[in-house]
């Protein structure tokens, strides 16, 4: 089915874009650990700079939040028209938002490995506050406000959120996003079979073995059942993750892997040139519409700082 690249769909694309590993690298968050109980480092420079060609057609976490902010204003106005309140949630600090490819190749930041092992890092404070505020807003909606905001399937009625998404995607081409999701997965898998990457995996594996950890590649380390089933990272897990990062640096694995993905993704873009042009147009139009809506009502929402 053809669908527009609205933020709800894009969130799924983002999830598929990070190391097929976005799920594999994300056991449950550390048990009793909270953002206030541990210092969550800013994303490292390598994580911030890591990029692949598909990024130009996908939506980053920061871009999705921009669209969400524009939707918030439209939903608020729509709800007011029905005599109901919708609290606009300020955007988090831009520097706190997770980079698009932070965990694409597993853990690549020493501090993250030391604090969280292979568990998903806690959000930076302003992002945690943003997510908590959105969750609280949803929980506090009355049944009538919930129907107004999100529609009523029983009556086949669209809510204000759907109307907001349609407004921001108005005039954009209809695109079947399943091909993009398939290509994200396929190119990532293909990159792991690239000769240079296979050689880098062997060097990384040998480095890990010297330190007492036996894995054929970084994704095997990420998906170790010992970490996957643990509620919080053990000392063994954090040591493994720190060693993993050190061995990646020693073998230059991340740059080698990223170079292979770049070649493979560029080939995919050339093969499906018209499709990727449509993706890029749709992305650009939606971001332009979101930015315009935010500029029209600057006092209504706090932008990235």
CB-based burial label for 110 (10 Å; 0-12, 13-18, 19+): middle
The answer on pLDDT for 278 being more than 50 is yes
- Flag whether pLDDT at 30 surpasses 80: no
Q: Note the Cα 258 to chain centre separation in Å.
A: 18
List of residues 6+ apart from 209 with CB closer than 8 A = none
Greater model confidence, 44 or 183? 183
More confident call, 140 vs 171: 140
Of 147-161, 209-223, 259-273, the one with minimum mean pLDDT is 147-161
So what's the pLDDT on residue 38? 66
Is the pLDDT confidence value at 20 over 70?
Answer: no
Average pLDDT for the chain: 85
Each as own residue / partner, the long-range contacts of residues 298-304 (CB below 8 Å, 24 or more positions apart, any chain) are 300/73, 300/76, 300/88, 301/69, 301/72, 301/73, 301/88, 301/89, 301/90, 301/91, 302/90, 302/91, 303/69, 303/91, 304/62, 304/65, 304/66, 304/91, 304/92, 304/93, 304/94, 304/97
Is the pLDDT at 224 greater than 70? The verdict is: yes
- Predicted pLDDT at 172: 85
Handedness of CA 163, 164, 165, 166 (dihedral sign): positive
pLDDT score of 126: 95
Q: pLDDT class for 36, splitting at 50, 70, 90?
A: very low
Is a pLDDT exceeding 70 seen at residue 97?
yes
The whole-number average pLDDT for the span 141-157 is 85
The residues, any chain, with a CB within 8 Å of residue 276's CB and separated by 6 or more, are 57, 269
Average pLDDT score over residue span 175-203: 97
Asked if residue 276 has pLDDT above 90, the reply is: yes
| pLDDT at 11 (0 to 100) | 34
When pLDDT is averaged across residues 104-114 and rounded to a whole number, the result is 95
pLDDT at res. 68? 95
Least trusted range by pLDDT, from 20-24, 157-161, 202-206, 215-219: 20-24
Q: How confident is the model at residue 27 (pLDDT cuts 50, 70, 90)?
A: very low
Confidence (pLDDT) at 157: 67
| 39 or 5: which leads in pLDDT | 39
Number of H helices, E strands in the chain: 15, 0
User: How many Å is the Cα radius of gyration of the chain?
Assistant: 21
- pLDDT > 80? residue 299: no
The answer, yes or no, to whether residue 182 has pLDDT greater than 50, is: yes
Average pLDDT over residues 112-132: 94
């Amino acid at each position: 089915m053809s669908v527009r690249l609205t933020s709800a769909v894009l969130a799924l694309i983002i999830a598929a874009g990070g190391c097929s590993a976005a799920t594999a690298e994300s056991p449950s968050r550390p048990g009793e650990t909270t953002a206030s109980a541990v210092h969550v480092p800013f994303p490292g420079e390598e994580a911030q700079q890591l990029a692949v060609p598909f990024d130009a057609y996908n939506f980053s976490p920061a871009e999705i939040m921009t669209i969400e902010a524009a939707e918030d204003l439209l939903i608020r106005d729509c709800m007011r028209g029905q005599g109901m309140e919708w609290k606009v949630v300020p955007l988090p600090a831009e520097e706190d938002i997770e980079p698009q490819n932070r965990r694409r190749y597993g853990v690549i930041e020493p501090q993250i490995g030391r604090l969280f092992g292979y568990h998903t890092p806690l959000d930076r404070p302003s992002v945690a506050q943003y997510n908590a505020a959105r969750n609280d807003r949803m929980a506090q909606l009355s049944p009538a406000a919930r129907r107004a905001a999100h529609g009523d399937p029983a009556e086949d009625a669209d809510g204000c959120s759907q109307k907001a998404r349609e407004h921001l995607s108005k005039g954009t081409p209809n695109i079947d996003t399943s091909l993009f999701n398939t290509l994200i997965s396929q190119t990532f898998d293909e990159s792991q079979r690239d000769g240079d990457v296979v050689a880098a995996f062997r060097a990384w594996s040998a480095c890990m073995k010297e330190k007492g950890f036996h894995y054929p590649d970084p994704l095997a380390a990420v998906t170790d059942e010992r970490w996957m089933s643990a509620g919080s990272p053990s000392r063994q897990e954090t040591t493994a993750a720190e060693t993993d990062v050190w061995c990646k640096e020693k073998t230059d694995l991340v740059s080698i892997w990223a170079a292979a993905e770049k070649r493979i993704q560029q080939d995919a873009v050339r093969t499906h040139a018209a499709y990727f042009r449509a993706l890029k147009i749709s992305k650009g139009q939606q971001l332009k519409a979101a930015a315009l809506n935010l500029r029209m009502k600057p006092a209504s929402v706090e932008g990235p700082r």
